[in-house]
Structures are given as structure tokens and as C-alpha cells.
């Protein structure tokens, strides 16, 4: 009785080094960035996206959810859940726009403002930790190159384009 040997496909013969793939490295770096942030902000229970929302609302009180989504580069369908969780925690409020009742305007609550103030040092420590293996010059170049790639491919992101 002969056993048929498994047929090797061209894909199975080629070994791909995942660590040589930019997409794989970017995904791993995102995991690390979230992990470092969560370690630094452990007592707050706030995620990096939630921090971005709180920070944006502090600088732009009264913006609507669509504008917020564009400001933090998040899609409008997902930002509603983020806003809902922050509202449930009493960190922001939503109110109807007097001009258009369908539009919800967002504001930090005093608790949200206090949470943001307490989180800012943790966020800054997280940024330092993420880039600690790099020299000051390498950090600037790394950020420049990341921004270049992001700007080139922005239309592929889930974030809605800014209104013109």
C-alpha cells in the first residue's frame, strides 16, 4: 500500500518571516502601545481611544460625534460606543443641537475634566516608554516616517474624511 505524500503548495514551500512584514510589525507595535498605556493608566480604566476623546473634547467642547470621530481618526459607527461608555461613567454628556435635533453635542463633565488631568502624566509616561529604545534623533525620524505613511494611505483608514 502506497501512501500519497502530501502535496506541497508553493505557499507551504516558501517560509515568510512575519517580522519582516510591515503590517505584522505595525500590529505588534499597536499591541505594545495599548499595553504600555494600560499599564501606566491602570487605575483609570480609560483606553487610549477614550483618552483621545477626552483630550479632544477638552480642547473642542460642544463638537458633534462626527467631528469628534474625524478628530481622533475613528469611524463614526464605532465612536458612538466609545462615547456611550464615557457617558455611562459620567465623564461626558451628550445634548441635542439647537440647530439640528439629530446632532448630539459633546461636553466633558467636571469628572471627565478631572480624569483627563489625572491621566495626562500617565499618557506622557507611556509615550516615553514606547520609544525608550530609540535615541532622541531616532524618535523624531520614526515619528516623521510613521506620519508620512499614514498621510499617504489616509483614505484607506476607517476614519471618515474631514468635511470640506
Cβ atoms of 108 and 54 within 8 Å: the answer is: yes
Q: Which sequence spans correspond to the domains of the chain?
A: 21-154
The confidence score (pLDDT) of residue 97 equals: 87
User: What is the separation of C-alpha 137 from the centre of its chain, rounded to a whole number of angstroms?
Assistant: 24
CATH code at 21-154: 1.10.10.10
Cβ atoms of 53 and 80 within 8 Å: the answer is: no
pTM, 2 dp = 0.83
* pLDDT one-digit tens code per residue, 63-109: 999 999 999 999 888 899 999 999 999 999 999 888 888 888 999 99
Instruction: Encode 19-38: b = buried (16+ Cβ within 10 Å), e = exposed.
Output: eeeeeeeeeeeeeebeebbb
* pLDDT one-digit tens code per residue, 114-141: 999 999 999 999 999 999 999 999 999 9
Q: What are phi and psi of 57, to 5 degrees?
A: -65, -30
Amino acid at each position: 500500500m502506497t501512501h500519497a505524500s502530501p502535496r506541497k503548495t508553493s505557499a507551504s514551500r516558501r517560509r515568510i518571516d512575519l517580522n519582516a512584514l510591515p503590517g505584522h510589525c505595525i500590529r505588534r507595535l499597536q499591541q505594545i502601545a495599548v499595553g504600555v498605556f494600560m499599564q501606566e493608566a491602570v487605575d483609570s480604566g480609560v483606553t487610549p481611544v477614550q483618552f483621545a476623546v477626552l483630550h479632544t473634547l477638552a480642547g473642542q467642547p460642544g463638537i458633534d460625534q462626527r467631528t469628534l470621530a474625524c478628530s481622533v481618526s475613528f469611524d463614526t459607527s464605532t465612536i458612538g460606543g466609545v462615547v456611550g461608555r464615557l457617558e455611562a461613567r459620567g465623564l461626558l454628556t451628550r445634548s441635542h443641537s439647537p440647530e439640528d435635533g439629530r446632532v448630539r453635542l459633546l461636553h466633558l463633565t467636571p469628572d471627565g475634566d478631572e480624569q483627563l488631568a489625572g491621566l495626562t502624566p500617565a499618557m506622557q509616561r507611556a509615550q516615553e516608554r514606547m520609544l525608550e529604545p530609540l535615541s532622541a534623533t531616532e524618535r523624531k525620524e520614526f515619528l516623521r516616517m510613521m506620519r508620512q505613511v499614514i498621510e499617504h494611505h489616509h483614505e484607506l483608514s476607517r476614519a471618515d474624511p474631514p468635511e470640506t
